[in-house]
Every structure is written in structure tokens, then in C-alpha cells.
Structure 1
Amino acid sequence: MQAATSAALAQTRDLDLVIRHVLAGLGHGIHAGRERGAGVEFSEYRAYAPGDEWRRVDWKLLARADRYFVREAERDSHVAVWLVLDATASMAEPSREINGVDKLWFARTVLACVAAIAQRQGDAFGLLICTDGRIDFTPASRGPRQLQRVLAAMNKVTPQGVLPAADILRSSLHFARAPSVIFTASDFLDWPSPLSEALLRLRNMRHDVRLLTLRTQAEVDASFKSGTGYRDPERMDGLHRIGNADRAHYKQQSRAHFDSVAASCRQHNIVHHEACIEQPLGSVLRSWLQLAGARAK
């Protein structure tokens, strides 16, 4: 059932539909410290946009102006949410168990759900896509139109090339001048890397950094077909074959690498969750958010 559901979700191009399915009953927020009620003061009106909550419409103003207006609130919490998507060539790695599911699809969908939660909370959110040696940047904003901008940018990206160079990433950190929560989804096959260095720099700047490491079950188990040839899509440095005798060494080296990623995150107090793309999206997202919630307490 799990595989069938994931395969069906992977076939739809409607990220809104996938988000509604994944978030149904999730009931988690992104960050603590958001205040409601007396702690939220009225700031200004803006025109109603599709997707706004009807309870925020000012009905008295509608009677006077014959137009729908939404009351914007000035919140005590001004935390911005930033989504960082790794869309390099290695993220094209597919599941050997679920047709249509690859690392990029999983990463994009999880981050799209985070964007939808941010929009529901009224937070500003933006997007950085690392692909083909560059960064595609969507500035932070609020509201349903911003969600559609972010989803459109995610939907059109294809996995290609390598991570941006260190100087490109370093020059892009201007987005995090204000307090930020930074959600990053990647396979982190390169660590240390320009991306890991940028994330550690952001953490040293006291931003809340949260990482999701994605692998396939075949990568975890080394359950590749014996004798099948593989080529690193980011280096193209020849064809590699994994035989039965190579599996134990591969698993040992792979586990050592990802243990070092986890250890670096613990050292810098970065929320880190590791998942396989064959796992249910909702449970992965829930676990990722709960880890951050546990730290906040």
C-alpha cells in the first residue's frame, strides 16, 4: 500500500494535491514561539487572495467597500523560513522499489509541504535551489501567491550538474540577515562540501538549521544488482561495478560517511534526520519536525 501510494503521488504534477494528501492530519507547526490572540496586533488590510482563510476577512469593511479585505497581523515572531533544495545530478537517483520516485521528487515534495505549513502559519518563506553550479533564488514573502511561486519553481527544476562553488554560496547568504529557520533536503553525498560549509556558517550566525539526508533503500542495503555498472553523474569518472564481494566494503564506507555527517550536525547543534525515499512522506516530515520541536523544549 505504501509503495502504491507513493508511486501514485509521484505521477501527479499537481504539488497542491500532493501537499493536501501528505499534510492531512499532520497538525505540526514549523517553529515554537509563535503567538496568537492578545500577542498579535492588527497591522494593515490587504486585498483578499484565493487561499486566504475566511475567518480573517473583515466583514464590516466588506459592507462599506463592497470588496473583500483581509486583516494582516504584526506578529511578535518575525522568523523567516528558507527552503534549500539540492537539485544536482545525484538527486536523480531512483528508488529500485517504487516506480517514479527519486531523491529529487522526495526532497521537493517534503520542502513543498514545509512551504505550505509556513504559509498557513503566516510566516515569510523563500527558496534556494542548488543546481548545475548555480543558485536559483526566490525571495521570501508571505501568502498563497508566494506558495504558488515557490511550488512553480520547485516543479520545473530538473536534477543536473554539481553544487555551486563556495564563493557563490557565500555571496548568497545575504538572505539570512534576519532570524531564519533553514530547511535543507539533500543526499549529502559530498560532505564536507560548499553546501555543508554554507550551512555551518549559517548555524554559526545563530540561525536554526535543519537538514534532511535522503538515501535510497538500495544505497542503505547495497542491494544493487550484482555486476550492474554505475557512473557517478556528477563526476563521470568511469563505470563502477559492485559485485557480491564489494557489498560489505560499500556498506561500511557509506555508513562511515553518513555517521560523520550526523556527528558534524550534533557538534554544531543542527537538527538532522536521515530517511529513505521509500518511507512514507508524511512520517518522514513528522519525524523531521518533531526532532526540531524536541530541541526547542
Structure 2
Amino acid sequence: MSLAKTALIAHTQKLDLVIRHVLAGLGHGIHAGRERGAGVEFSEYRAYAPGDEWRRVDWKLLARADRYFVREAERDSHVAVWLLLDASASMQEPSREIGGVDKLAYARTLLGCVAAIAQRQGDAFGLVVLNAGRVQFTPAIRGPRQLQRVLLQLSRVQPEGGLPDADTLRASLHFVQSPSVIFAASDLLDWPSPLSQALTRLRGMRHDVRVLCLQTQAEVDASFSSNAAYRDPEQASGVFRFGADLKEGYRRARDEHFAQVTSSCRKADIPLVTARIEQPPGEVLRLWLRKPGSRP
């Protein structure tokens, strides 16, 4: 069942349809009373007053109390939501179990879901794409048209080259001048890196930074074929085969690398969610949206 849900990502080129399906599958899983999505946190109910938006009426409470109540939320009107996408060449790594699904397709789906939630809650949101040594911005604003703009940009992104260097990223941090929630999706294969430095710096500036680390099942259990030849997509050379004699060394190096990633994020107070792209997107989205410090 989980593979079938994830395979939807590969079955259509229309990102908005995939996002609609993922969010519908969550039901009330992103209820504002429990989850902090896009900068808004539930506070209390109050009686309906003329002029209140009907979309804020709690219809279930109406059925029980026979009165109209609306959900009040504590909102910092200056909070913006930023979607940060690592679109370097390594993000084209495909699933060996689900045809047509790779890290980038999975990342753009989850980031699109966050954008849809931000739009639904009235938050300003923008997009930052990192690839080919560049930083590409879609400024943060509110509204349905912004959602279509961001989804279009996400759908057009292609994996290319490496991440920007430290100077380029440092000069680009002006995009978070106001308090922000930053959802960063990457495979984190390059760590420590200019990206890790930028995320740590953003957290030091007291922004809410949440990182999603994407892997394939083959990467997790070292189940690469020993018959195929592989090339590092971000290097000009380096064709190699993944023989059985290399698996133990690979597992050891991988465990050491991600232990360092986890430790660094913990020290910087950055919530880290590690997921396989074969997992159901809704399941991973719940974890990524969870308010830091809250119970599962």
C-alpha cells in the first residue's frame, strides 16, 4: 500500500493533483490544534461574530453545541514560510523499487504540500532553489496565485550541478529578514557544507528551520546492483561498481556521515526528519510539519 501511494508521484505531471491527493489522505492530520504548519498555532475558540470568515467556523463543534464558533489562532503577521529545495545533481537518484520516483520528485511534492498549507492558512510563502552553483528565488507573498506560481517553479526544476558555494549562500540570506519558518529538503550527502552552514546561521538568527533528509531504500540497505556501473552525478569522473566486497565499507561510511549530520542538527537545535522516498508522502509530511518538541 505504501508503495502504491508513493507511486502516485510518478503517475502524473500535474503537481497540484498529487498534492491534493496527499493532503486529502491526511484528513485532519494537520489540525491547527496539534500541528504547527506554516506559522500558525491554534489558541482557542470564540463565538462567531458578523464579518468572520466562514472557513474558520468549526462545523463539528456546531453540531455538538448548536452554536457557531470560530477557531482563533495566534499569528505573527510577519512570519513567512520559505521552501528551500536542494536541486543538485545527486537529487536525481531514483528509487529502485518505484519506477519514475526520484529524490527531487519526492521533495517537490512535499514542498508543494507545505506551500498549499501555507496558502490555506493565509501565510506569505516563497521558494528558494539551489542548483548549478546558483540560488533562485520566488519572493514570499500570499494568495492562490502565489501557490500556482510556486508549483509551476517547482515543476520546472531540474537536478543540475552542485550546491552554491559558501559566499553565494551567505550573500543570499537576506531573503529571511523577517521571522520565518524554513522547510529545507535535501539528501544532505554533502555535510558539513555551505548549505549546513547557511541552515545553522539561519537557526542562529532565531528562524524556525526544519530539515528533511531524503534517501532511497537502496541507499539505506546497500542493495545496489553489483552488475551496474555508477557515476557520481556531481563529478566529472568516477565510474565504479558496487561489489559485495564494498558494502560493509559503504555502510560504515554512511552511518558515520549521517551520525555527524544528526549530531550537528541537534547541536544547532534544528529538527531533522530522515525519510526514504519509498515512504508514503503523507506520513513523512506529518513528521516534517510537527511542532518542535511536540509528542508524536
TM bracket, shorter-chain basis: 0.7 to 0.9
One-letter amino acid matched to 1:124: A
Distance 1:36 1:128 in 2: 34
1:80 and 1:219 mapped to 2: Cα distance?
34
CA shift in 2, pair 1:253/1:175, >3 Å: same
| Preserved contact between residue 29 and residue 121 of structure 1 (Cα < 8 Å) | no
Equivalence for 2:131: 131
Q: Give me the TM-score of the superposition, normalised by structure 1.
A: 0.84
Compared with structure 1, are the counterparts of its residues 291 and 226 closer, same or farther at alpha carbon in structure 2 (3 Å cutoff)? farther
1:32 deviates by: 5.1
Q: Distance in 1 between matches of 2:169 and 2:115?
A: 22
* 2:126/2:138 contact within 8 Å kept: yes
Report deviation, 1:167: 1.2
**Who is 2:49 aligned against?**
none
Partner of 2:166: 166
Worse-superposed segment, 76-85 or 247-256? 76-85
CA distance in 2, matches of 1:54, 1:15: 28
Quickly say closer, same or farther: Cα 1:210–1:108, change in 2 above 3 A.
same
In structure 2, what is the Cα distance between the partners aligned to 1:285 and 1:214?
12
Q: Structure 2 matches for 1:107-256, cutoff 5 A?
A: 107-256=107-256
CA–CA separation in structure 2 for the residues paired with 1:139 and 1:287: 26
Deviation at 1:293, TM superposition (A): 5.7
| Pairwise CA distance, 1:55 | 4.7
Distance of 2:7 and 2:134 partners within structure 1? 30
Amino acid across the alignment from 2:207: H
Question: Deviation per CA, 1:14-67, whole angstroms, max 9, x where unpaired?
Answer: 1111111111213244145466777xxxxxxxxxxxxxx8758xxxxxxxxxxx
Q: Is the 8 A contact 1:35 1:75 kept in 2?
A: no
Give the aligned partner of residue 272 of structure 2: 272
Residue ranges of structure 1 left out of the alignment (5+ in a row): 39-52, 57-72
Residue of structure 1 equivalent to 2:68: none
Contact 2:81 2:180 in 1 (8 A): yes
1:261 maps to 2:230: no
**Residues 271 and 291, structure 1, Cα contact 8 Å, conserved in 2:** no
Q: Which residue of structure 1 aligns with residue 63 of structure 2?
A: none
Structure 1 partner of 2:65: none
Q: CA deviation at 1:166?
A: 1.2
Measure how far apart 1:291 and its partner are.
Answer: 5.5
Matches within 5 A, 1:57-68: none
Q: Deviations over 1:84-124 (max 9, x none)?
A: 00111000000000001000001110111011111111111
TM-score norm. by structure 2 comes to: 0.84
Look up the equivalent residue of 1:165 and give its one-letter code: D
- Give 3-state SS (helix, strand or coil) of 1:181's partner: strand
Asked whether the 8 Å contact 2:41–2:75 carries over to 1, the reply is no
AA in 1 matched with 2:168: I
Q: Gapped runs of 5+ residues in structure 2?
A: 47-52, 57-72
Q: Check conservation: 2:222, 2:250, Cα contact below 8 A.
A: yes
Quote the Cα distance in structure 2 between the aligned partners of 1:252 and 1:236.
Answer: 25
Q: CA RMSD in A?
A: 2.4
Aligned-residue sequence identity (percent) comes to 62
Look up the equivalent residue of 1:146 and give its one-letter code: Q
CA contact (8 A) 1:229 1:242 kept: yes
- Tell me which amino acid in the other structure corresponds to 1:120: R
What residue identity is the alignment partner of 2:217?
Q
C-alpha displacement of 1:195? 0.9
Aligned length: 268
Measure, in 2, the Cα distance between the counterparts of 1:36 and 1:196.
Answer: 37
Paired with 1:178 and 1:154, the residues of 2 have a C-alpha distance of 23
In structure 1, how many angstroms separate the alpha carbons of the residues matched to 2:131 and 2:153?
A: 12
Q: Equivalents in 2 of 1:115, 1:86: separation in Å? A: 16
Q: CA deviation at 1:74?
A: 11
Q: What amino acid is the match of 1:262?
A: T
* Distance in 1 (alpha carbons) for counterparts of 2:45 and 2:125: 22
**Structure 1 171/135 Cα, relative in aligned 2: closer, same or farther at 3 Å?**
same
Whichever residue aligns with residue 83 of structure 2, its letter is: L
Contact kept? 1:84, 1:185, Cα under 8 Å: yes
Equivalent AA in structure 2 for residue 168 of structure 1: T
